[in-house]
């Protein structure tokens, strides 16, 4: 948004009873570019001013017509909107110069300055396969982290590991019976999954295995040396393997404090609940009654004394508030856990924590593969690593067919294949269930990661072809054709798009924006020659290419995607 022009306009628009600041915050980008560059919708003013929006817009138009600041070409009242049109050349000059001078930091903001956001994402389960179900939480969380950081927030990325539960007792039994440390270190997670499945098969025939497992879990709880060592070993193996996938996806965490971390931190929470009279007995178990809020009770201690997932989440919330003093605490977790988070947040509210309102569940839908494969039971899972590998292999085939002489094909294929999977995961409204198809996500001409990467490489190679030039010679009046204006308007919007994506915890605003920018840029490129154009025109268009490249690269980075130089 042309902030300076918006500021100047808000000074000269005389709305009765409203301050400059009020007017400023009412003005917005018009829903349709045809309306102009900036608009003041008058609908909300109708009640206080006791006039129709149409009349208000017309009155304001007459009042402001002769006082337009420099750079604003015209004003018009249409259907209750007061629409302003900027002078195209000065608008283009303003936007392009800003992108060129800010470079990669274009679009950044200070709205988050001094504020901390905890983001709980990926949060995988130890000794369980990292399957495609974890893709969304991992990349949505990772992207929100980067976007919020760009807007000035301090982010704390937390991998709330699922590293607690009776299954670890089962795993120890299975490991001691059918595995060795050597095999585990060599084969990694695969054997853990294998022996875990075998445990369940054998336990059906021999129920004493379950008793053994319970005994081993008790040993973990009691801090028995061997049990603790094995438990740590499973964790180490899992994290080592998962770490490779995180690297490929460019995902990082500031904390790996998982469920087991809260073993000794639940008691004070339970005591506080008890003191406030919130904990009630129900068939030997301890629960918080939430019937008043139309929710089932939140179960916190089982009859046998065992604590639960929710107990740990309460302790984790206390810990995060005390440690990071967050302004917001996000949980990027599948919508299947809607109820769980509603319960946990409600319990915090009942405890009188005013920060309960800062807890946000960011839910998302399910991913299934086109062929219907997705089942996690019986060891039949779609591993994320396999999906990434397949996408990379298919990218290599496409690249080899399109551009057989390309150097470093393997590395480019890795960037394109992984980028395609990430972009897919971030390109839909997160709450929707989606179907993954290799052909669709790798379609270089579709609304895909490779399409955005390809457009970025096109900008890069164009800049190479253009070579050195004097950017100051640009004649911005030559950017008045529709295609150029569309690109300028897109570039201008970048900061707003990031803010909307952050506000709604929805990186798809950014990914869809990048698609639009690419489409508009490709149209610009089709309609406008760059090389061999007269002085002024060539430089102006070259600056457009450079600005688009800058924004595409930065936008991709915020999604966790690289752009190769060539592909």
Residue among 362 and 441 whose Cβ is closer to ligand ARG: 362
Residue among 336 and 437 whose Cβ is closer to ligand ARG: 336
Query: What ranges make up the beta strands (E) of 262-421?
Result: 279-282, 285-288, 298-301, 328-332, 359-362, 367-369
Q: Are 20 and 10 in contact (CB under 8 A)?
A: yes
Give the number of residues written for the chain: 567
Name 156's bridge partners: 118
Count the Cβ atoms, other than its own, within 10 Å of residue 527. Answer: 11
Q: By CB under 6 A, what part of segment 374-433 binds ligand ARG? A: none
Distances (CA, A) of 437 to 130, 368, 554, 559: 19, 9, 26, 20
Name the one range near ligand ARG by CB under 6 A: 14-22, 29-37, 77-85, 119-127: 119-127
**For 480, which DSSP code?**
-
Name the one range near ligand ARG by CB under 6 A: 118-126, 171-179, 454-462, 543-551: 118-126
Residue 331 within binding range of ligand ARG, rule CB under 6 A:
yes
In the bound complex, what is the minimum distance in angstroms from residue 367's beta carbon to ligand ARG?
14
String of b and e for 268-300 (b: at least 16 CB within 10 Å)? ebbebbeeeebbeeeeebbbbebeeeeeeebbb
Residue 142 within binding range of ligand ARG, rule CB under 6 A:
no
Q: By CB under 6 A, what part of segment 311-330 binds ligand ARG? A: 313, 316
Residue among 83 and 143 whose Cβ is closer to ligand ARG: 143
Q: Give the DSSP per-residue string, 403-423.
A: -TT-TTHHHHHHHHHHHHHHH
Residues 6+ apart with CB under 8 A from 135: 367, 384, 387, 421, 425
Out of 71, 80, 162, 560, which residue is the one contacting ligand ARG (CB under 6 A)? 162
Residue 159 within binding range of ligand ARG, rule CB under 6 A:
no
Residue among 123 and 455 whose Cβ is closer to ligand ARG: 123
Structure-token pair, residue 34: 């045809």
Residue 163 within binding range of ligand ARG, rule CB under 6 A:
no
Distances (CA, A) of 406 to 167, 381, 466, 564: 49, 35, 21, 12
Residue among 119 and 491 whose Cβ is closer to ligand ARG: 119
In the bound complex, what is the minimum distance in angstroms from residue 68's beta carbon to ligand ARG?
53
Residue among 78 and 366 whose Cβ is closer to ligand ARG: 366
Q: By CB under 6 A, what part of segment 26-65 binds ligand ARG? A: none
Residue 333 within binding range of ligand ARG, rule CB under 6 A:
yes
In the bound complex, what is the minimum distance in angstroms from residue 425's beta carbon to ligand ARG?
16
Name the one range near ligand ARG by CB under 6 A: 55-63, 120-128, 278-286, 437-445: 120-128
String of b and e for 82-112 (b: at least 16 CB within 10 Å)? bbbbbbbbbbbbbbbbbbeeeeeebbbbeeb
In the bound complex, what is the minimum distance in angstroms from residue 365's beta carbon to ligand ARG?
15
Q: By CB under 6 A, what part of segment 270-299 binds ligand ARG? A: none
Out of 98, 131, 160, 493, which residue is the one contacting ligand ARG (CB under 6 A)? 160
Question: Cα–Cα distance between 167 and 262 in angstroms, integer?
Answer: 17
Residue among 120 and 554 whose Cβ is closer to ligand ARG: 120
Residue 125 within binding range of ligand ARG, rule CB under 6 A:
yes
In the bound complex, what is the minimum distance in angstroms from residue 383's beta carbon to ligand ARG?
15
In the bound complex, what is the minimum distance in angstroms from residue 59's beta carbon to ligand ARG?
54
Contacts with ligand ARG by CB under 6 A: the residue count is 9
**For 355, which DSSP code?**
G
Residue 71 within binding range of ligand ARG, rule CB under 6 A:
no
Question: Cα–Cα distance between 308 and 312 in angstroms, integer?
Answer: 6
Residue 120 within binding range of ligand ARG, rule CB under 6 A:
yes
Residue among 125 and 255 whose Cβ is closer to ligand ARG: 125
Residue 300 within binding range of ligand ARG, rule CB under 6 A:
no
Residues 6+ apart with CB under 8 A from 351: 272, 273, 276, 278
Q: Which residues bind ligand ARG (CB under 6 A)?
A: 120, 123, 125, 160, 162, 313, 316, 331, 333
């Amino acid at each position: 948004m042309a902030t300076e022009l918006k500021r100047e306009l808000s000074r000269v628009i005389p709305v009765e009873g409203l301050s400059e600041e009020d007017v400023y915050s009412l003005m917005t980008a018009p829903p349709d570019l045809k309306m102009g560059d900036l608009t003041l919708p008058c609908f909300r003013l109708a009640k206080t001013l006791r006039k129709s929006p149409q009349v208000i817009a017309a009155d304001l138009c007459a009042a402001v017509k002769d006082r337009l600041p420099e750079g604003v070409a015209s004003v018009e009242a249409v259907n209750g909107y007061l629409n302003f049109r900027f002078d195209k050349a000065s608008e283009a000059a303003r936007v392009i110069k800003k992108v060129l001078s800010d470079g990669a930091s274009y679009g950044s903001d200070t709205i988050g300055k001094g504020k901390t956001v905890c983001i709980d994402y990926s949060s995988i389960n130890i000794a369980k396969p990292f399957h495609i179900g974890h893709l969304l939480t991992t990349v949505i969380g990772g992207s929100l982290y980067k976007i919020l950081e760009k807007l000035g927030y301090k982010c704390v990325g937390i991998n709330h590991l699922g590293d607690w539960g009776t299954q670890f007792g089962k795993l120890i039994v299975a490991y001691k019976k059918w595995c060795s440390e050597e095999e585990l270190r060599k084969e990694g997670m695969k054997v853990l999954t294998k022996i875990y499945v075998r445990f369940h098969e054998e336990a059906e025939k021999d129920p004493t295995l379950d008793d053994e497992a319970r005994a081993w879990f008790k040993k973990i709880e009691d801090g028995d040396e061997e049990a603790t060592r094995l438990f740590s070993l499973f964790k180490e193996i899992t994290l080592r393997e998962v770490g490779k996938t995180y690297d490929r996806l460019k995902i990082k965490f500031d904390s790996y404090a998982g469920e087991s971390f809260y073993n000794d931190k639940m008691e004070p929470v339970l005591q506080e609940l008890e003191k406030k009279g919130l904990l009630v007995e129900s068939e030997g178990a301890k629960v918080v009654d939430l019937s008043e809020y139309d929710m089932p009770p939140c179960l916190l201690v089982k009859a046998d004394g065992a604590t639960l997932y929710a107990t740990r989440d309460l302790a984790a919330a206390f810990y995060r508030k005390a440690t990071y003093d967050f302004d917001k605490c996000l949980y990027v977790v599948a919508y299947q856990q809607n109820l769980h988070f509603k319960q946990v947040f409600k319990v915090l509210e009942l405890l009188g924590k005013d920060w309960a309102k800062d807890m946000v569940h960011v839910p998302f839908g399910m991913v299934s593969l086109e062929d219907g494969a997705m089942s996690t039971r019986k060891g039949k899972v779609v591993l994320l690593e396999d999906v990434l590998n397949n996408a990379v292999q298919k990218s290599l085939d496409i690249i080899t067919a399109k551009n057989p002489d390309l150097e470093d094909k393997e590395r480019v294929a890795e960037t394109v294949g992984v980028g395609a999977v990430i972009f897919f995961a971030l390109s839909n409204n997160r709450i929707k269930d989606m179907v993954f198809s290799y052909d669709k996500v790798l379609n270089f001409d579709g609304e895909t990661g490779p399409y955005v990467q390809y457009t970025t490489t096109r900008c890069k190679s164009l800049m190479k072809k253009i070579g050195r030039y004097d950017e100051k010679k640009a004649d911005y009046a030559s950017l008045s054709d529709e295609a150029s204006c569309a690109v300028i308007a897109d570039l201008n919007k970048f900061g707003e798009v990031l803010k909307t994506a952050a506000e709604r915890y929805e990186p798809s605003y950014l990914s869809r924006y990048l698609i639009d920018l690419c489409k508009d840029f490709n149209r610009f490129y089709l309609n406008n020659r760059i090389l061999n154009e007269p002085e002024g025109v060539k430089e102006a268009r070259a600056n457009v290419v450079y600005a688009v490249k800058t924004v595409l690269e930065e936008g991709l980075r915020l999604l966790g995607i690289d752009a190769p130089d060539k592909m």
